[in-house]
Amino acid sequence: MTARRRLPDRRFAETFDLHVGAFRYTCTVGWFADNDGIGELFLNSSKSNSTADTNARDAAITFSIAVQHGADPEAIRRALSRDSQGRATGPLGTALDIIAERTA
Protein backbone atom coordinates (compact mmCIF):
# COMPACT_ATOMS: atom_id res chain seq x y z
CA MET A 1 0.00 0.00 0.00
CA THR A 2 1.24 3.49 -0.84
CA ALA A 3 2.05 5.72 2.13
CA ARG A 4 -0.45 8.46 2.82
CA ARG A 5 0.50 11.82 1.37
CA ARG A 6 -0.18 14.38 4.07
CA LEU A 7 -1.72 17.76 3.42
CA PRO A 8 -0.10 20.91 4.78
CA ASP A 9 -1.69 22.34 7.93
CA ARG A 10 -2.67 25.44 5.97
CA ARG A 11 -3.79 24.95 2.40
CA PHE A 12 -5.82 26.57 -0.34
CA ALA A 13 -9.45 25.48 -0.35
CA GLU A 14 -12.44 26.43 -2.46
CA THR A 15 -16.12 26.07 -1.56
CA PHE A 16 -18.99 26.02 -4.03
CA ASP A 17 -22.58 24.79 -4.30
CA LEU A 18 -23.92 22.29 -6.81
CA HIS A 19 -27.26 20.67 -7.56
CA VAL A 20 -27.98 17.03 -8.32
CA GLY A 21 -31.62 16.16 -8.79
CA ALA A 22 -33.67 17.85 -6.08
CA PHE A 23 -30.70 18.24 -3.73
CA ARG A 24 -28.30 21.12 -3.17
CA TYR A 25 -24.82 20.19 -2.00
CA THR A 26 -21.92 22.24 -0.70
CA CYS A 27 -18.48 21.09 -1.79
CA THR A 28 -15.16 22.17 -0.33
CA VAL A 29 -12.02 21.03 -2.09
CA GLY A 30 -8.55 21.31 -0.55
CA TRP A 31 -5.32 21.15 -2.51
CA PHE A 32 -1.89 19.69 -1.86
CA ALA A 33 0.98 22.17 -1.48
CA ASP A 34 1.82 24.22 -4.57
CA ASN A 35 -1.63 23.38 -6.00
CA ASP A 36 -0.32 19.88 -6.81
CA GLY A 37 -3.74 18.26 -7.16
CA ILE A 38 -6.79 17.62 -5.05
CA GLY A 39 -5.92 16.47 -1.55
CA GLU A 40 -9.33 16.35 0.08
CA LEU A 41 -12.97 16.86 -0.73
CA PHE A 42 -15.96 17.48 1.53
CA LEU A 43 -19.58 17.16 0.40
CA ASN A 44 -22.67 18.05 2.41
CA SER A 45 -26.32 18.01 1.40
CA SER A 46 -28.70 20.80 2.31
CA LYS A 47 -30.78 18.06 3.99
CA SER A 48 -28.48 17.41 6.94
CA ASN A 49 -28.38 13.82 8.26
CA SER A 50 -30.43 12.52 5.32
CA THR A 51 -29.43 9.45 3.33
CA ALA A 52 -28.30 11.76 0.51
CA ASP A 53 -26.11 13.70 2.95
CA THR A 54 -24.58 10.55 4.46
CA ASN A 55 -23.87 9.05 1.02
CA ALA A 56 -22.28 12.28 -0.23
CA ARG A 57 -20.10 12.63 2.88
CA ASP A 58 -19.02 8.97 2.70
CA ALA A 59 -18.16 9.26 -1.01
CA ALA A 60 -16.07 12.37 -0.34
CA ILE A 61 -14.22 10.72 2.55
CA THR A 62 -13.46 7.67 0.42
CA PHE A 63 -12.28 9.87 -2.46
CA SER A 64 -10.05 11.89 -0.11
CA ILE A 65 -8.42 8.80 1.38
CA ALA A 66 -7.88 7.38 -2.11
CA VAL A 67 -6.12 10.47 -3.50
CA GLN A 68 -4.02 10.83 -0.35
CA HIS A 69 -2.79 7.29 -1.02
CA GLY A 70 -1.92 7.98 -4.66
CA ALA A 71 -5.14 7.33 -6.61
CA ASP A 72 -5.65 9.40 -9.76
CA PRO A 73 -8.56 11.83 -9.24
CA GLU A 74 -9.21 11.96 -12.99
CA ALA A 75 -9.48 8.17 -13.22
CA ILE A 76 -11.99 8.21 -10.36
CA ARG A 77 -13.96 11.02 -12.02
CA ARG A 78 -14.18 9.13 -15.32
CA ALA A 79 -15.26 5.90 -13.54
CA LEU A 80 -18.27 7.42 -11.75
CA SER A 81 -21.86 6.99 -12.96
CA ARG A 82 -23.01 9.10 -15.91
CA ASP A 83 -26.19 9.53 -17.93
CA SER A 84 -26.52 8.92 -21.68
CA GLN A 85 -25.18 12.44 -22.40
CA GLY A 86 -22.09 11.82 -20.26
CA ARG A 87 -23.19 14.04 -17.35
CA ALA A 88 -22.38 12.87 -13.83
CA THR A 89 -25.43 11.52 -12.00
CA GLY A 90 -24.13 11.77 -8.44
CA PRO A 91 -22.76 14.56 -6.25
CA LEU A 92 -19.14 13.36 -6.24
CA GLY A 93 -19.00 13.08 -10.04
CA THR A 94 -20.70 16.46 -10.43
CA ALA A 95 -18.26 18.09 -8.01
CA LEU A 96 -15.26 16.55 -9.77
CA ASP A 97 -16.61 17.70 -13.17
CA ILE A 98 -16.93 21.27 -11.87
CA ILE A 99 -13.40 21.15 -10.45
CA ALA A 100 -12.04 19.75 -13.74
CA GLU A 101 -13.73 22.57 -15.70
CA ARG A 102 -12.29 25.21 -13.37
CA THR A 103 -8.75 23.84 -13.47
CA ALA A 104 -8.60 23.09 -17.21
4-13, 52-61, 72-81: which has the minimum mean pLDDT? 4-13
Average pLDDT of span 57-71: 97
Max intra-chain CA distance, the chain:
41
Q: What is the pLDDT of residues 80-89, one digit of tens each?
A: 999 999 999 9
C-alpha 88, offset from chain centre: 12
Residues 6+ positions from 12 with CB-CB distance below 8 Å: 30, 31, 35
The pTM (predicted TM-score) of the whole model is 0.92
Q: What is the pLDDT of residues 4-42, one digit of tens each?
A: 988 888 888 999 999 999 999 999 999 998 778 999 999
H helix intervals, 6-90: 51-68, 73-79
Question: Within 13 Å and on the Cβ side, how many CA atoms surround 5?
Answer: 17
Question: According to the model, what pLDDT value does residue 1 have?
Answer: 66
